């Protein structure tokens, strides 16, 4: 299941996100979205967890959690429309 994590503090790294989610199961990939010009975080990331049950547990436990003084939002990523 692909997850969207929003409202990340600009100081949060890809490794920080991975560490948060690996507590709930296997993390296949984690992509922190960066600004093309400045290479600074845009405040959101996509993360993929192969086990749906683990992904749902991560959503339940991490949505609304304070991380680096920001209340993150976690949900299932929507499919991109062509």
Residues 17-25: contacts with CB under 8 Å, at least 24 apart:
17/45, 17/47, 18/47, 20/62, 20/67, 21/47, 21/49, 21/58, 21/62, 24/49, 24/54, 24/55, 24/57, 24/58, 24/61, 24/62, 25/49, 25/51, 25/53, 25/54, 25/55, 25/57, 25/58
pTM: 0.92
Note the pLDDT of residue 80. Answer: 74
How confident is the prediction along the chain (82 residues), in pLDDT tens digits per residue?
A: 999 999 999 999 999 999 999 999 999 999 999 999 999 999 999 999 999 999 999 999 999 999 999 999 999 999 877 6
Give the chain's domains with CATH numbers. Answer: 2-74 (3.30.70.330)
């Amino acid at each position: 299941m692909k997850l969207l994590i929003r409202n990340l503090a600009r100081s949060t790294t890809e490794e920080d996100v991975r560490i948060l989610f690996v507590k709930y199961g296997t993390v296949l990939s984690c992509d922190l979205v960066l600004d093309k010009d400045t290479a600074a975080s845009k405040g959101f990331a996509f993360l993929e967890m192969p086990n749906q049950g683990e992904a749902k547990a991560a959503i339940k436990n991490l949505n609304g959690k304070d991380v680096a003084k920001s209340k993150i939002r976690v949900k299932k990523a929507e499919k991109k429309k062509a």
